[in-house]
Chains A and B, each alone.
Chain A
Amino acid sequence: MSLKPFKKIGIGVTFSPNLKANIHEASRLALRLRSNLVLIHVGEQSTDKDAKFNAILEPFVKKGLVFEIIFKPGNPVDVILSITNEKNIDLLILGALQRENFLKYYVGSIARKITRKAQCSVLLLINPSVEHIACQHIVVNGLKDPKTTQTINTAFYVAHQLNSERITIVEEINQDEIAIKVDDDKSLRKTNILKERIRQREASRINEIIKTIDSEYTKNISIKSQPIFGKQGYSIGHYAQIMRADLLVMNAPSKMTFWDRLFPHDIEHILTELPTDVLIIQ
């Protein structure tokens, strides 16, 4: 299985209180993944702005960071998307917002639009910090989906580059797969046998995927697989939150229609309540 390392990382920057933290996070990641960094600023260029960005980036340049800064005025969503395409950016970093007084994060309207339309992978950061925080535990989805193999592969690649210790692969199993409804002791027993069977089937499927991955990426990482019977896209976020995962890696959604937003599923759940940093693999 071929890996697709991220060659170019893009980040949209504005002069917000989070500016320094955002750039620090992006630069660290770019160094770790050995990729180039593209700062996208929606607005006119000025020497003043240039100087500010350069000042923040300076410590990383010393460590060998290659970067470019692009200024372009216009609608933020359109600008960022078009530059992503132009520059062949394969990972776009976006910051999340925090709900006042709550320890809850959500993706703002602009970032949300970008996430839905982006052609590349997207990393949503909930808590950017100037200081380095180690990424120890990665949760990745193991849905039965053609994209999953690529997603798990990338997760291992990222884990390897970030020196993560643990990867948990979560297989969300739709409740509909269990045809029996629990009514009494007998049906409960049947359901549990069925669940156990599905659990084993899923575990062996995941094992097959892991086998195809280059052992160099899997060797120092403890791998766990966790089947969950629950709502797709929602339970994995919930799981990542209670396991205090540092990064959640998910498949990109297939197609979005108006109805998908009205009755949220899969990725939309995650966007309204970010459990942790989320990496959406395209």
Chain B
Amino acid sequence: MSPKKNILIDFLKSMPKNIFSGFVVSLIALPLGLGLAMASDAPPIAGIIAAIVGGLLVSILGGSHVTISGPGNGLVGVLLVAISTLGLESAYAAIIFSGILMILLGFLRLGKLADFFPSSAIQGMLAAIGLIILGKQFHIMLAHKIDRADTIDYLLEIPYTINDAIHYTNPGLIYAAIIGVLSLCIMLFYPKIRNKYLQLIPAPMWIVILSIGFSYYFELVAHEANPIDKNYMISGIPNISTIISEIPIIDFSKIGTTAFWASVVALTLIASIESLLSIKAVDKLDPQKRRSNVNRDLKALGLASVGSGFLGGLNVVTVIARSSVNVNNGGSNRSSNFFHALFLVIFIVLFSTELKRIPLPALMAILVFTGYKLASPKTIKNIFSIGKEQLIIFFVTLFVTLKVGLITGITSGVVVTFIIHIIMNKGVSLFARNVLKPNVLMFKEDEGGNYYVSVKHFCSFLNFYRLKEKLDAIPEDQDVVVDFSLCQFVDHTVMENLNDYQELFTKRDGHFEVIGLDMHDTDSKHPFAMRRLLPVPNLIKNSLTKRQSAIEGFAKDYGLNYNADKQRETHFLDYFLFFRTKKINHIYNKQSEKNLAIKLFDIEFSEGEFIAKEVVRSTMLHIQLDKNIPEFTLDREGFLEKVYAFAGFKDIPIQDHSDFSKRFYLLGEDVEAIKTFFKDDITHFFESNPYYHIESNGNAILVFGKERLASIKEIKALFDFGKRLKDVIS
């Protein structure tokens, strides 16, 4: 068979999965699209138009694989300014021009643009955007619409709004506020509930479904008018025929003004940065480990923005939360983006009247949560742990962005970062003398074929692109050594990016090592003002918790080694199917046999990104085998598996063991090998023991029960199960 045909067959094979994940993504894209557009003071349908145009165009022309495109939260602040200063019709013109600029950026290969901004400054800018979204929508969530000129005023008035909300007397407002608060609770507590059936529908869609149900309850069951105040219902959702017949007239008359071009530049900058950051993050989640062509994506996004602007939609960017939902639901190529757009079209055609039943506070609760996630205290804590000077950069960017604007904000962030670098290095000469030098050397070593990269002088956000260019030219399955011993100064932006590379290389079977930084604080000959080195595992643990002492006792009883510290070396887990779309943060409380054949550990991993991010802690058992067995996944048979089966996964039946086949769900590539591997004794073992999720990656087995930490009793049971399983298999 020709390879071309293979590609086509693979594509068709993965089609059901992509349709399924496209569907799930459209469930989250619908409320987010409506909400983001309303937060930008644009008609709600504008967000949906952006998602549809983006999905259709970028899926066909783009260069990334599992990303989803649509209206982005980062743009809310800029669009708000553009629409309020220029008016809606001119803002569409600005969107069109920013699309053209993005296409230009793509052709000029400026996909590296995002590398020139210090990461703390970007964090500060994102936090400011989060606060802009949160500040404005919080009041609407509590049914208290206010209009202020300054974004900071919105934030300062939050306590007054809460106070007012407690003393409402108008039942319409009370209902609206309750809906808002309930919706926020759904957003907050949804990730905490690990129920597979509940998780099938994303939280924002639950809010939509529940609030539409609420409205129908009053109409059909209680025969009363909807108690929520009319002003706080979503309005202005046209049906499909009006959308087509009433394409907005775009006003190009303000094209000569500076305000217009300021908006265009701001839109382009934020849209590009948000897209580039998202693509980078999503690439790490891609189970097939592909590399995205960012420049091509920029062109596609730009073109989509132009199209969206002409049809009355917002800018199209790559969005992180929706993309990660896509990956988690089995999206494997660009077609899922296409289907997400298609489903949105279907929703609008079929249900545009139902959407009018959504109360505004419910939608705004989703945005308040989004805003909170962007500016969460966790981010600040994280930055503080990196260094106090990063906090200065962060807050300067944050306040200037809130007070003046996005462009000024990010510029001030860059300037402050550079000033701090100058102070830390006691002078500008290091930078002035070396900024233009090609300070990165890369060559392939003869022995071993390692790639060796040496960096001289300094490496900061100013010249990181040189290092990045070299690193990008290395296939991710190779071994790389990056040597900073000739480098006097390495900044936080670089360290953070290197950490990303490290994760990427590890995930793709390569090896990425950074050397030469250990002496940066000690050797007096090198006046290094090094900031934090690579994140080091927390070495000093004050005391063990009750559970930890119990585990320690258990480990002693069974003759196991116990280590409570966080460990980041989790490469042995990378080959398990379960972790392909998940990011392992660390393992801790590790108990292991002397020969390391059986390991028991607590693990923290995360699924999804941004508002779809869920951090999960669980206890797992890892058995290293001395022989090869087929790769498979075994779990309890249930409703969810039926859904998966619909999406193209197949259960493998084992002959003469109908009870086993009925109770267990067995999945794997090599059907024949698995059938022969599940002999009588192994099948009996599984039949007569408690249920666990079991996975083999060829030479090791991973066993775990629930997606939460196990109690001591459960740990004992798990260990016993693992030991006997090992005996049965070998």
Q: Which residues of A contact B (CB under 8 A)?
A: 101, 103, 181-185, 187-189, 191-192, 224, 226-231, 234-235, 238-239, 241-242, 269
Contacts and interface: CB of A to CB of B under 8 A. Distances in A.
Interface stretch (B144-152, B285-293, B305-313, B705-713): B285-293
B525 A227 contact: no
Contacts of B527: 101
A18 B160 CA distance: 77
Interface string B414-451: 00000000000000000000000111111100100000
B475 A230 contact: no
A235 B293 contact: no
Given A183-B295, A183-B296, A188-B473, A239 B443 contact: yes
Given A101-B527, A226-B446, A242-B483, A183 B441 contact: no
B443 A181 contact: no
Nearest to A185: B291
B473 A228 contact: no
Given A183-B295, A241-B486, A242-B483, A234 B437 contact: yes
**Closest 6 pairs (CB-CB, A-B):** A231-B438, A184-B293, A238-B441, A183-B293, A228-B443, A184-B291
Interface string B270-314: 000000000000000000001111111000000000000000000
Interface string B483-507: 1001000000000000000000000
B62 to A, nearest CB: 11
Interface in B457-516: 472-473, 475, 483, 486
Given A188-B475, A228-B441, A239-B441, A181 B109 contact: yes
A196 to B, nearest CB: 9
B290 A226 contact: no
A52 B527 CA distance: 39
B441 A242 contact: yes
Most buried by A among B292, B440, B443, B486: B443
A271 to B, nearest CB: 13
B446 A229 contact: no
B298 to A, nearest CB: 11
| Chain B interface bracket (under 10, 10 to 19, 20 to 34, 35 or more) | 20 to 34
B456 interface: yes
A189 B290 CA distance: 12
Contact of A235 (B292, B296, B441, B473): B441
Nearest to B294: A183
A185 B283 CA distance: 12
Given A184-B293, A242-B454, 9 more contacts: A101-B525, A101-B527, A184-B290, A191-B473, A224-B446, A228-B443, A229-B473, A230-B441, A239-B441
24 contacts: A103-B526, A182-B472, A183-B63, A183-B293, A183-B296, A184-B291, A184-B292, A185-B291, A188-B472, A188-B475, A192-B475, A226-B446, A227-B443, A228-B442, A229-B442, A229-B473, A230-B438, A230-B440, A230-B442, A234-B437, A235-B438, A238-B454, A238-B456, A241-B456
A184 B473 contact: no
B109 A234 contact: no
Nearest to A196: B444
Nearest to B456: A238
Contacts of A235: 438, 441
A103 B443 CA distance: 24
Contacts of A269: 437
Contacts of A192: 475
A100 to B, nearest CB: 11
A194 B109 CA distance: 21
A203 to B, nearest CB: 11
